Amino acid sequence: MDERRPRLNPANRLPRRLVALLAVGPATALAVFFLWPFATLLAEAVDGRAVGDTLRRGTTWRVVWFTAWQAVVSTVATIAVGLAPAHVIARYRFRGRRLLVGLLTAVFVLPTVVMGAAFLALLPTSLDRTVWAVIAAHVVFNLAVVIRMVGAVWEHLPPDMEAAAATLGASRRRVVTEVSLPLLRPALTAAAAIVFLFTFTSFGVIRVLAAPGTRTIEVEVWRRATQLGDVGGAAVLSLLQLTVLVVVVGWSARTQRRHSRALDLRPEAPRRAARTRAERSTVAAIGSATALVATMPLVALAVRSFSTPTGWSSSAWTNLGRTEIRPGIRLGIDPVAALTNSVRTALWATLFAVVLGALASLAIAAAGRAGRLLDVGLMLPIGTSAVTIGFGMLIAFDTAPFDWRASWWLVPVGHALIAIPFVIRTTIGVLRSVDPMLGAAATTLGANPTRAWWEVVVPMLWRPLAVGAALAAAISLGEFGATSFLSRSGGETIPIAIERLLGRTGSLLQAQGYALATILAAATIVLVTIVDRVQERT
């Protein structure tokens, strides 16, 4: 190793004042719009009367029980359904493999209200508004988590271990259950924990797809805060949910450490084409079934937007700009205004997220160990449900001089809080991988450290920031939890409009809800495609 090679990234040699200047914007945003609302939420929840009243209610524990059991069933079903495609995608090379993985990823990033609407369109009337419809939507929505996380480990496992077991006479099923799955246990645990967190905090799917009166903790928090005026009870439920999430994350981390073992992992075990007729049939069947499961809800969504009791019609699309689609039949919401609001909100949220995320990434990379505190702090909104974030902002900013609830920028700021971590994750890796010799060369040519940083590091940001911007826009367009608290009459976004239209009686109104959901799904898939293309060129 050449000792003359600089040990530090060029960004690490910035003056401390400049590093602090970079960090002040993201740190202030975190303190004002996350930590302060969260502290306000804690203050509301620690009221002894609110805690006692909430925990004594039978309704509270019925909601907690439903939230827990549907999350457990959804998690088990997702793991069971996802193992076969995870194995096929990890081990075999076949035509359409990359397209299948991209499709599953696109489904995973779809807004929850779109997935709820898609299953409402797909399932027969007998299953509409049932818990089984909710579980089915959760399984399809989270399938990519299992396939990507478990498959990522499976493709690195030495295939000769499985081959040796098969040579000794073990059946294919026994090889999987006694060799592969024990080695995959840490990955399975991590995937199960993530799926459980997503289904335990389910909000949009429940609001759209579940029967009236069916509530998870997220929905109950929203109902108590916005409909019943029970702010204390809603705060207690939010903290109860957060406690469960912390316990699950801690259990997952402990279990992964306990069952982790040193393995002779390959950089990437080569995928092979199916050799025997049985293998070819299995790969084709599992790949086709997985693609069908992922595409059918989206196809049904588009089809239902053209379907009416009297036949096929494009009236749901042609009447999008009207608030009265027939004499006496009013929507109660302007779909075009909702589209406009969503686009405007997404643009501002993306701008906020990209600017603050870029500044935070530069500060984190430049500060070294000291930057970890800012990094961890800005990750906190991901570990907190969007409903909790929106609720905290609602009760924190409701009194002068900080009565900002009617401010147009509050919703984009809420969206940006959720999107900033994704911007950071796409940029920080690039910043940390900049060759230190580039900065040293610039310094040798006479540039001061700040100039060297500007010339070497900053130009590296544009491509990862483009990826982060696309992710931020997709997150903002589909965000539903925080928006349910922060939006006001006339400021509804597309997810809010979809939920309200699908909850109305009348096929024409529901068809417009499906039309808006189709638009939102298409926009999300386009943004995900842009992210994939940019990352491929990186």
CATH at 243: 1.10.3720.10
Domains in the chain, number: 2
Residue 324 CB neighbour total at 10 angstroms: 10
Residues 235, 395: Cα–Cα separation, whole Å: 10
Tell how strand 324-326 and strand 311-312 pair up: unpaired
Torsion over CA: 515, 520, 523, 528 (sign): negative
Residues 34, 420: Cα–Cα separation, whole Å: 12
Structural domain containing residue 165: 45-304
Does the N-terminal peptide bond of residue 449 adopt cis geometry, omega within 30 degrees of 0? no
3-state DSSP assignment of residue 330: strand
> Of the candidates 278, 304, 330, which is a domain's last residue?
304
Residues 41, 33: Cα–Cα separation, whole Å: 12
The verdict on 286 and 376 lying in the same domain is: no
Residues 199, 146: Cα–Cα separation, whole Å: 14
**What are the residues whose beta carbons fall under 8 Å from the beta carbon of 309, sequence distance 6 or more?**
507
Residue 215 belongs to some domain of the structure = yes
Geometric angle at alpha carbon 256, from 254 and 259, rounded to 5°: 105
Residue 361 belongs to some domain of the structure = no
The verdict on 373 and 300 lying in the same domain is: no
Q: Which residue reads 């009207």 in tokens?
A: 322
Residue 154 belongs to some domain of the structure = yes
The verdict on 253 and 170 lying in the same domain is: yes
Torsion over CA: 329, 332, 337, 342 (sign): negative
Geometric angle at alpha carbon 482, from 480 and 487, rounded to 5°: 85
pLDDT of residue 456: 61
Residues 481, 475: Cα–Cα separation, whole Å: 11
Chain centre to alpha carbon of residue 390: 16
Residue 457 belongs to some domain of the structure = no
The verdict on 415 and 266 lying in the same domain is: no
Residue 84 belongs to some domain of the structure = yes
The answer to whether 108 and 144 have CB atoms below 8 angstroms apart is: yes
The verdict on 289 and 380 lying in the same domain is: no
Q: What contacts 24+ positions apart, CB below 8 Å, involve 440-447?
A: 440/6, 440/10, 442/10
Does the N-terminal peptide bond of residue 412 adopt cis geometry, omega within 30 degrees of 0? no
The verdict on 484 and 387 lying in the same domain is: yes
The verdict on 191 and 266 lying in the same domain is: yes
The answer to whether 70 and 198 have CB atoms below 8 angstroms apart is: no
> Of the candidates 280, 304, 328, which is a domain's last residue?
304
Helix axes 231-259, 386-396, angle to 10 degrees: 140
pLDDT of residue 70: 95
Residue 5 belongs to some domain of the structure = no
Whole-Å CA distances, 248 to 197, 198, 218, 382: 8, 12, 17, 15
The verdict on 300 and 382 lying in the same domain is: no
The answer to whether 234 and 221 have CB atoms below 8 angstroms apart is: yes
The verdict on 295 and 207 lying in the same domain is: yes
Residue 453 belongs to some domain of the structure = no
The answer to whether 8 and 436 have CB atoms below 8 angstroms apart is: yes
The verdict on 265 and 380 lying in the same domain is: no
Q: What is the DSSP letter of 459?
A: G
The verdict on 92 and 212 lying in the same domain is: yes
Residue 445 belongs to some domain of the structure = no
One digit per residue, pLDDT tens: the chain, 538 residues? 444 444 444 444 556 777 778 889 999 999 999 999 988 888 877 776 778 888 888 889 999 999 999 999 999 999 999 988 988 888 888 888 888 888 888 888 888 889 989 998 888 887 878 899 999 999 999 998 888 888 877 777 666 555 555 565 555 666 666 666 677 777 888 888 889 988 998 888 998 888 888 889 989 988 888 888 888 888 888 888 888 888 887 887 777 666 555 444 454 556 777 778 888 888 899 999 999 998 999 899 999 888 876 778 888 788 776 666 555 555 567 778 888 899 999 999 999 999 999 899 888 877 767 778 888 888 888 778 888 888 889 888 888 778 888 888 999 999 999 999 888 888 877 676 655 554 455 455 555 555 655 666 666 677 788 888 888 888 898 888 888 888 877 778 899 888 888 877 667 778 888 988 999 888 888 887 777 776 666 5
> Of the candidates 274, 304, 334, which is a domain's last residue?
304
Residue 9 CB neighbour total at 10 angstroms: 21
The verdict on 105 and 237 lying in the same domain is: yes
